[in-house]
Amino acid sequence: MRRLSVAVAALAMLLAFTALPASAIFGTATRPFPFPFLRGDHNGGSKCAACTLVVGLLEQQMQIKKVNAETSMDLFCSYLPIKLVTDACYVAVGLYGGKIAPLLDDGETADTVCNAIGMCGSEAPVCRLFPAKKQRTEQEFEAHIRKVRAEAAREGLIGKFNICELIPGVCRVEDHLPFYDADGDRFSTYETLRGTDWRGKDCNDSDATVFPGRNATDAVVDANCNGIFGVDATSGRTYEELYCGGTGAMGVAALGDSATAHFHIPPTYVTAANLSAATFAHLVRNAENELDWPMLSWSTGHLDPNSFYPDISGPKGSLYTHMLDDNLCMHRDYQNLGVNGAKVSNLEPFDLLLARNATSGVKPLLLIMSMIGNDVCHWDHTFATMTKPEQYKAAVIAALEKADTFLPAGSQVVLIPLVDGRILYDTMHNRIHPIGETNKDVTYADLYDFLNCLDTSPCWGWMNSNASVRNGTWAIAESLNAQLPIIAAESIGKYQNFKVNFLGNVFDDALNKYMAEFPGDAWELIEPVDGFHPSQKANSLLGYYLYNVTKTAGLLPAVNPNNAAITARFGDQGGY
């Protein structure tokens, strides 16, 4: 049941059929909001935004396939992959189809339609994503919208559809730990639902003493799941001792936000020309991963992005894979604790979700703390609610102090600063967004303005046409980043089990280096649908850059001279 409920939750995000504000569904700061697009409850907020996207797709599909509105709606529902979701789609069509069809058939835009069915609120101003059709002036368009809103109110349509009432499972919350974990060691054999896509595979899920990262000799059993075990008959020593002993093998873990988890909405979901059953074939998998792709991320990526085409594609490579190339003993020793919407105040609670306790006999950990955006990102149109420097510093120190209570000696912590998000607007604002692809009529700037108009942008500060807002946001981000070298300096001699490392603005440096070398390709670094997150290409670049920076700083072990012997004896070490 939970499997389905998560799928429907993500679909709800896509379709924005929910009528609740995010806080009502997902709680407050201690439980980060996993779907950044489901925020805001003014002017219809995310419900209006996603209605406009979906109806925009329906309208463009009418043009492309030369069908009427009713057929376009039927086709859309038929593309959805599981019965519960398809049924919800038909319920929505039953509620609104009779109202939507004549408007679309008459050439009205998605903006008009979503106001007419009560999905967009009654507050001023009128928000609009698509250009007005029917040769209306701006004033005529606004008057028209007010008229259809008034009709929707008279007909009782406003607030009528509530996904939490229709399918209550949608509004459940997640705890960011593996759902399928029989022995309770926080490692799983299931890919999604915080399983092996997020943390190394558990090679025995009925024994809590067997899990990735253990510091074990493995004479008989592969207790650390790296595929290396048994005894060498010649020397009488175990292969762990022979091949891994003294090599400095360590694991890698990242505590972070949606950029750490690699948030990505498949562009095919919002490209009308691509709509088919194949478009949504992997909706359940993507929903179970919260629309994140940690198995392809800069920190813990380990699979080939092109094996997930058409949902995603691009170059492979992460901090983990480059560390693994150096030392095959760390196979499967990764943990991704990226959560959509998380910020620096979540670092300490995320510490407690790690599976790395010195009392369990584990190898040292390279722990990346990477909250790169949400302390200056929210949907409010104000600087006032962004994190303050003293709050930022206190939160990072609290997370370090907590980590020092359980991490094994010899670990390393790396602090990643907030990214200069001005790259987003500078790079994307003039480009056509996938939702405007059919008629070349919606730019990223149009989308940013629309989301801000609805008070539902994931980041008012960066995704904003006003340069002074973007520059003001960077000034605040810089004031937060300035705390990190201070924290690192003050940490000397303070923590028993790790060194705290601040390595500069590594992500900005990596992106700027790439843009200097390939100035025309900067847009390839940014997610095409949200216009906000690092793309697959950027993830691969960031992983390689961070590997080089940490290697140069002396945080990583030397290359293991036994790698060839490990491969010769143990092959792919059990794969992933």
* Residues 20-39 interacting with Ca ion (rule: CB under 5 A): none
CB of 497 to Ca ion, least distance (A): 23
Q: How many residues sit close enough to Ca ion to count as binding (CB under 5 A)?
A: 6
CB of 228 to Ca ion, least distance (A): 4
Q: How far apart are CA 80 and CA 51, in angstroms?
A: 16
Q: What is the helix, strand, coil percentage profile of the chain, to 5?
A: 45, 5, 50
Q: Which one, 41 or 218, has the nearer CB to Ca ion?
A: 218
112 lies in the binding site for Ca ion (CB under 5 A): no
Q: Which one, 489 or 564, has the nearer CB to Ca ion?
A: 564
Determine if the peptide bond prior to 519 is cis (ω within 30°): no
Kindly tell me which residue out of 59, 185, 222, 420 binds Ca ion, with binding defined by CB under 5 A: 222
Q: Which one, 382 or 567, has the nearer CB to Ca ion?
A: 567
CB of 216 to Ca ion, least distance (A): 6
CB of 330 to Ca ion, least distance (A): 11
Handedness of CA 207, 213, 215, 221 (dihedral sign): positive
Q: How far apart are CA 258 and CA 290, in angstroms?
A: 10
Q: Which stretch binds Ca ion (CB under 5 A): 34-42, 219-227, 340-348, 362-370?
A: 219-227
228 lies in the binding site for Ca ion (CB under 5 A): yes
Q: How far apart are CA 91 and CA 77, in angstroms?
A: 10
Among residues 46, 72, 188, 258, the one annotated as catalytic is 258
Q: How far apart are CA 399 and CA 370, in angstroms?
A: 12
Q: Which residues of 339-361 are buried (b: 16+ CB within 10 A; e: fewer)?
A: bbbbbbbbbbbbbebbbbebebe
Q: Which stretch binds Ca ion (CB under 5 A): 7-15, 211-219, 461-469, 535-543?
A: 211-219
Q: Which one, 97 or 230, has the nearer CB to Ca ion?
A: 230
Q: Which one, 235 or 276, has the nearer CB to Ca ion?
A: 235
Q: How far apart are CA 228 and CA 233, in angstroms?
A: 15
CB of 365 to Ca ion, least distance (A): 17
Kindly tell me which residue out of 109, 226, 411, 464 binds Ca ion, with binding defined by CB under 5 A: 226
Residues 188 and 195 sit within 8 Å (Cβ to Cβ): yes
Tokens representing residue 28 in the block: 């407050």
18 lies in the binding site for Ca ion (CB under 5 A): no
Q: How far is CA 313 from CA 151, 193, 229, 536, 537, in A?
A: 45, 21, 35, 7, 9
218 lies in the binding site for Ca ion (CB under 5 A): yes
CB of 569 to Ca ion, least distance (A): 12
The Cβ of residue 269 has, within 10 Å, a number of other Cβ atoms equal to 21
Binding track, positions 229-258, relative to Ca ion; x by CB under 5 A: x-----------------------------
Q: Which stretch binds Ca ion (CB under 5 A): 18-26, 226-234, 285-293, 364-372?
A: 226-234
404 lies in the binding site for Ca ion (CB under 5 A): no
224 lies in the binding site for Ca ion (CB under 5 A): yes
Tokens representing residue 321 in the block: 């894979």
333 lies in the binding site for Ca ion (CB under 5 A): no
Which one-letter DSSP state was computed for residue 243?
Answer: I
Which amino acid is residue 318, in one-letter code?
S
* Residues 413-472 interacting with Ca ion (rule: CB under 5 A): none
Q: Which one, 225 or 414, has the nearer CB to Ca ion?
A: 225
DSSP string, 407-424: SPTTEEEEEPPPP-THHH
Degrees (nearest 5) of the Cα angle 383, 389, 392? 105
CB of 362 to Ca ion, least distance (A): 13
Annotated active-site residue 258? The verdict is: yes
User: Which residues contribute to the site for Ca ion (CB under 5 A)?
Assistant: 218, 222, 224, 226, 228-229
Residues with catalytic roles: 258
